[in-house]
Chains A and B, each alone.
Chain A
């Protein structure tokens, strides 16, 4: 079986992707600062910004799954540019030079999100100039860099998993539960905004499907979700219920949240150890406007469909908590 590089495999999603590829029989190499902890994978410690570690990582690989990124809703824009855009550019170049044939760029639907509600849209082209926030802007630019490198013999696919969650998720689920338990989690707006999300296993199988289908579908971007959108309050309530915590009861008007900033921000932040940052407009929009997607093209082109979904995912989450 061919050798595949997974970047960012010390992260929760990256590790799951690496494990899945190992289980599928790939020879998996990983690239990140800390050991991935993935059994059966060969770790290269380093960063996409370091030329030497990148070159070591891509040597002899047939495919790359690129998850490493700076993911945050705050911070110095220069850091985002360096990691997300330049890191991707360097990795793409090195992979191509090293003779890799497939490259899956793990992106985000926010690269095409301009603040308006999304109801049943597919994946429009990334728009760095219109995306909201440094993360989305730089991911958008990076996606264009990656897809721009698509060429005969070097098949690039972008996948955009939307709000990935599941058991052991140290970011979204854990933080929501923690906030709610402390009574510090309000809902923005009516809580009825319909949002898609992706259970971990669905994101992982979608990423592998993209890798496997790369020769057929290269040059395109695909949204990945579990295909079961839910009102945001129900999703958050589901996360809380899985852990036996009362769901949030307090509400703040969407306008106030957008304008003033709110503790909700912290919940969605994924920078451990950081104090509560101000609410950003992007977050208030994410929490109070619809964003759910048309998966038909993704399903058709990748020959994939989400197998777990939100309802079953929440059941598994509760099982995970019950097991302690």
Chain B
């Protein structure tokens, strides 16, 4: 805090109210985090204890059984690899596609540029269900049902990524690009050597947003991944939770922990970029 001259009366008013704000925020934070706490604690409880009423907080008997179920009977390795592969290629593809077209829209002149950009803006408002049905028809016509491309390709055309990259690249001074051009650099070289190195923050934001979307996506994979070897983690969990196993509550909780933990760790480690990213997409 910068030292601001505080009148005695303001100081007297300030202190108790600040304590109140802290107290209120702490209560709100506890309420927000209760589902997580309960998930983690529940995942190491026995089935009998989970059925106990009133519910217990701290596990009476500690057990890893719920987790071993995922590593034994259920093929979590495959689901995990699927989720990682899909997310990795979706992020990579989105970064390449969106930064290329973002550069073209921001710095190059070509006929039809306005049409492309307007279309991108309009599709930002298109609800997912509008394209859902024909997209499924396209994918089944192309014979891609239950393949990685079906899980990845439809998400490389995200209008948000194009918008983000275009806005960011637009703010890079033209003089930098002109200087490179005068030095005889080609457009590809300018893009790779001048523009991309300056796009770090935007690329980080886009990578994080795309990764989150892909990792947590479940409706499309649920419809398109029809064989068990193509399930992603959320698909596996959601199918498991409606099957005859739905009564096996501890296993469901352990599955939730397994899906959420990698993202939560990533988030805590990179929280600055997450938050910058959200603010940037919003404000720009």
A binds B: no
Q: Which residues of A contact B (CB under 8 A)?
A: none
